[in-house]
């Protein structure tokens, strides 16, 4: 059964800083709480020990609306020239595109923040999931679950039926004698390939295209499971995943 929580603890769980910092935010009037009445403005709360039911709670913290999430699940439209690393080597980290609370969410007493579910190369764009739910990351990353991922591939040389056939039947990569095949493969245009994979090997799309005598010029992930990257989510923007969207992923 859900329990009421002190406001400072709610803020701490959402990544707004230590409990002392969170208490200070409340006491200084930086936290407002939305009521149940639709359209009503949020009301200021300056009591850090005030208790609320966290589930469904909507707050405004330092002018930013923030719904309570016991676990964070977000999608990011990864732009080019970014790295899926906390310690990037050449390009900016994708984590700099996220607000501070998502990067500072605590896990078991330590600051962990959300983590990318898998990685995209620095020059690859598109749909990327991030969460602080370790079980979700493990489930999505496990090869046993075969979650399909759809890629829009721009190739250097015009596609032909033989290349499509080989990608579907399977090609051998240099690090594994077992053929790797696409779950689906469609030539959308002469230089545009839509490729669906259910496993994730290092540089897999690029190596598969090289194996059939072509070359990847641009790579964009458009879908994970049944969840498509929304058309109105611009590169560099993020968005919370709702329950229906999570089902589109988990049900794949």
Q: Which residue has the tokens 């579907």?
A: 168
Cα 252 from Cα 248, distance rounded (Å): 6
Q: What is the largest CA-CA distance in the chain?
A: 69
> Dihedrals φ, ψ of 9, to 5°?
-75, -35
Q: Which of 161, 152, 92 is nearest to 122 (CA)?
A: 92
Exactly one of 47, 65, 121, 123 is catalytic; which is it? 121
Q: Return the structure tokens found at 246.
A: 């999570």
Kindly list the distances between the CA atom of residue 124 and the CA atoms of 6, 77, 96, 115, 219, in Å, as whole numbers in the listed order: 42, 11, 17, 18, 5
The verdict on whether 176 is a catalytic residue reads no
Kindly tell me the burial class for residue 194, based on how many C-beta atoms sit within 10 Å of its own C-beta (0-12, 13-18, 19 or more): middle
Residue 102 half-sphere exposure, CB side, CA atoms within 13 Å?
Answer: 22
Q: In this structure, are residues 150 and 126 in contact, taking their beta carbons and an 8 Å threshold?
A: no
Catalytic residue numbers read 121
């Amino acid at each position: 059964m859900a329990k009421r929580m002190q406001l400072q603890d709610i803020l701490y769980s959402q990544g707004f800083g230590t409990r002392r910092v969170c208490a200070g935010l409340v006491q200084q009037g930086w936290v407002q709480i939305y009521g149940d009445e639709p359209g009503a403005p949020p009301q200021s709360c300056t009591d850090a020990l005030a208790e609320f039911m966290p589930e469904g709670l909507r707050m405004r913290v330092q002018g930013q609306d923030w719904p309570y999430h016991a676990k964070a699940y977000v999608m990011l439209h990864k732009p080019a020239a970014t790295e899926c690393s906390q310690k990037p080597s050449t390009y900016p980290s994708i984590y700099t595109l996220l607000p501070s609370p998502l990067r500072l969410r605590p896990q078991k007493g330590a600051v962990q923040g959300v983590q990318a579910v898998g990685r995209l190369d620095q020059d690859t764009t598109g749909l990327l999931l991030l969460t602080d739910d370790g079980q979700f990351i493990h489930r999505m990353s496990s090869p046993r679950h075969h979650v399909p991922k759809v890629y829009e591939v721009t190739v250097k040389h015009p596609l032909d039926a033989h290349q499509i056939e080989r990608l579907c039947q399977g090609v051998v990569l240099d690090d594994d004698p077992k053929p790797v095949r696409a779950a689906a493969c469609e030539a959308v245009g002469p230089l545009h390939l839509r490729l669906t994979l259910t496993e994730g090997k290092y540089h897999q799309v690029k190596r598969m295209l090289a194996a059939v005598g072509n070359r990847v010029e641009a790579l964009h992930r458009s879908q994970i499971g049944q969840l498509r990257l929304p058309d109105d989510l611009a590169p560099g923007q993020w968005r919370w995943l709702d329950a229906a969207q999570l089902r589109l992923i988990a049900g794949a």
